[in-house]
Amino acid sequence: MPHRPTLRRHAGLAAAVLLAGAYTALPNPLAASGRPAIAPAPADTGIVITDTTIAARDGVPLHARIWRPDAPAARRPTILTLTPYTADDAEEYASYLARYGYVYVNVDVRGRGGSGGVFWPLAQDGPDGADVVAWIVRQPWSDGRVGMRGGSYRGMTQWQTLAQHPTGLATIVPTAGVYPGWDYPNPNGIFMSYVARWLGFVQGRASQEKLFADNRYWQSRYWLMYEKGRPFSDLATLTGIKSRVFDLWIRHPGFDAYWRAMSPDSAAYRAIDVPILTITGDFDGDQDGAMRYYREAMRYETPAARAEHYLVIGPWNHPGTRHPQKELGGLRFADTAAIDMNHLHLQWFDHVFRGAPLPPFLADRVVYYVMGEHVWKSAPSLEAVADTTRAWYLQPAPGGSSDVFHSGTLAVAVPSAAGRDTFRSDPHVRLTPREMMQGGMGYTSPGAAFAFGPKLIYQSAPLAQALEVSGWMHLDVWLSMDVPDMDLGAAVYEVTPNGGSIYLGDSEIRARYRRGMDRPPELVRSGAIQRYRFDRFHWFSRRLEKGSRLRLVIGPLNTPEWEKNYQGAGDPATETLEDARAGTLHLYAGADHPSALVLPVKEAGGM
């Protein structure tokens, strides 16, 4: 979704870091043979902008804004976006592509902007998208071919439209695409308080940008819910948003049939016959969604379709997937990280529609930026990026692993002796705003969720040599607890030789969904030792410095940024402080319970 409040998914869990290492400026990856990355724009003959109405199959009028080159009449390819943020939001992209000879059509989704009907976020845009494609190919200025582009919600609408397989749709370029029910609004079965802020942004028909931008207001509402122990279901009332959508969503915390119906099924993926360029970032709040689309496509697409599906993963947050930057939350990258995304889109569309060569940047089907080494690399598939995996096994410290000065160990071998760590999670304990701010609400500190309160910390020995980590890491831990449910977070950092801390990723889990979001929830049996897999870390690529150590932090979620789990047996959305149950968690390690952090690494050629 748009404008996520922090670098990754949220402000409350593990945020990250600093360290601006030295780097060597590299050639611009969008340049070929030493030529400038961007060709001069053609002589500006002007752009004609018009508004029109398109009838959907059920007669609902959809408002569209059209940008066309003011040039002699000619049939041209068209680029389409479906947006919930009103049609004016495409002015930059539309004008750019129109100057290069494309028609651009931006359509308000039903119920928003100038479109009729009722807005049901995430749920209804595929058929409307297909109807718009069918309308475009009938227009006298259309050459019968349509491409789609756009990010976040607008990335999702591309997949929903493609699932309808409309005649004339020739390519899509989904950026940071939302996957309903998977990465938003309830990642890992835990709703984000940000849901209310986004629903406030898109309520009614007009843009609500000023309301959305009032960070003080939204934080005060989240704090009120948190401090007073109110149920998450009260958030709509507390913030003043209309509850029609919010109340429906919170009835579906897991990835159930309600959410699955909003995304392509296996048959839709098998029917894909157009080239696709998927774009996301290491810190993109919707990376989970973008990568789920990509992985499902790789699973079901035909070999021919897979050969024309490209993936770009840069060192970017959610906005950065559209406007890449050289610096992010204290991390600095090479100049080449800030690629010209508009130009990449133009090169892609010229390739698809005009027979131009494939963009030079797309050296292979997967293109990714290695932080720390500050280079772009490519591979034929995600599986080919890393050569192997390495495991670091958790070993509790004598007396407990409760802080960095008395941390447990991340060992390269399974500990011979069994060990156990413990913390107490008490939902009655609430952090103060001062504690949250001291803990850090952004991306340059260890994270508010862990700054105060219970936690377990494990650290590795210094790395004997530099190590490239590229892919998805996961954490397997053996746990028991004496409450029916608990929300836990795990965060991983690189601690550099000079003591700096660099965030690598975080993953959360709600204990009742330990078997997976797509399976019915199951409450925890008190005292039962079970394996919990934290597997929602983001895909990332970083060269860890020689002499660096890995740091793993595990603790209960305790922040107003998330739906609070009061650790009872009821519906977390309706439980209150009166239902809260304090609980003890035990983490087990050793040969019988080999708790381990597993990282994907690249060893070919050495480092």
Spatial CA neighbour of 554 closest among 463, 496, 461, 477: 477
- Please give the class, per CATH, of domain 47-186+259-310+335-358: alpha beta
Query: What does the pLDDT average to over 20-34?
Result: 36
Q: Quote the Cα angle for 153-187-448, to 5°.
A: 110
Query: What does the pLDDT average to over 98-120?
Result: 97
Which pLDDT band holds residue 33 (cuts at 50, 70, 90)? very low
So what's the pLDDT on residue 45? 64
Q: Taking the mean position of all CA atoms in its chain, how far away is CA 81?
A: 20
For the chain, give the mean pLDDT: 90
Task: Record the tokens describing residue 232, joined without a space.
Answer: 């998450």
Which pLDDT band holds residue 383 (cuts at 50, 70, 90)? very high
Q: What percent of the chain lies above the pLDDT cut of 90?
A: 85
Which pLDDT band holds residue 512 (cuts at 50, 70, 90)? very high
So what's the pLDDT on residue 28? 46
- The answer, yes or no, to whether residue 470 has pLDDT greater than 60, is yes
Q: Taking the mean position of all CA atoms in its chain, how far away is CA 64?
A: 28
What residues contact residue 396 under an 8 Å CB cut-off, 6+ apart? Answer: 408, 419, 420, 421, 587, 589
So what's the pLDDT on residue 42? 57
- The answer, yes or no, to whether residue 24 has pLDDT greater than 50, is no
- The answer, yes or no, to whether residue 448 has pLDDT greater than 60, is no
So what's the pLDDT on residue 431? 79
Which pLDDT band holds residue 434 (cuts at 50, 70, 90)? low
The H or E element containing residue 91 is: helix 91-99
Query: What does the pLDDT average to over 256-270?
Result: 97
Kindly provide the residue ranges of all beta strands, DSSP E only, lying in 284-387, ordered along the sequence.
309-317, 327-328, 331-332, 366-370, 375-379
- The answer, yes or no, to whether residue 113 has pLDDT greater than 60, is yes
CB 563 within 8 A of CB 490: no
So what's the pLDDT on residue 191? 98
Topology of 388-602 in CATH? Jelly Rolls (2.60.120)
Type of residue numbered 72:
P
So what's the pLDDT on residue 405? 87
So what's the pLDDT on residue 311? 98
Task: Record the tokens describing residue 138, joined without a space.
Answer: 């009938």
- The predicted model scores a pTM of 0.92
Q: What is the pLDDT of residues 307-344, one digit of tens each?
A: 999 999 999 999 999 999 999 999 999 999 999 999 99
Q: What is the pLDDT of residues 551-580, one digit of tens each?
A: 999 999 989 999 999 999 999 999 999 999
- The answer, yes or no, to whether residue 444 has pLDDT greater than 60, is no
Reported residue count of the chain is 607
So what's the pLDDT on residue 12? 26
Query: What does the pLDDT average to over 335-362?
Result: 97
- The answer, yes or no, to whether residue 214 has pLDDT greater than 70, is yes
Q: Which of 39-53, 126-140, 297-311, 498-512 has the least mean pLDDT?
A: 39-53
- The answer, yes or no, to whether residue 146 has pLDDT greater than 50, is yes
Q: What is the pLDDT of residues 195-205, one digit of tens each?
A: 999 999 999 99
Query: What does the pLDDT average to over 366-372?
Result: 98
Q: What percent of the chain lies above the pLDDT cut of 70?
A: 89
- The answer, yes or no, to whether residue 259 has pLDDT greater than 90, is yes
Query: What does the pLDDT average to over 434-451?
Result: 47
Query: What does the pLDDT average to over 470-497?
Result: 97
- The answer, yes or no, to whether residue 426 has pLDDT greater than 90, is yes
So what's the pLDDT on residue 22? 30
- The answer, yes or no, to whether residue 32 has pLDDT greater than 90, is no
Type of residue numbered 225:
M
| Domain boundaries, given as residue ranges, for the chain | 47-186+259-310+335-358, 192-249, 388-602
Q: What is the pLDDT of residues 219-254, one digit of tens each?
A: 999 999 999 999 999 999 999 999 999 999 999 999
Query: What does the pLDDT average to over 454-463?
Result: 96
So what's the pLDDT on residue 449? 40
CB 176 within 8 A of CB 287: yes
Cα 62 from Cα 82, distance rounded (Å): 10
So what's the pLDDT on residue 230? 97
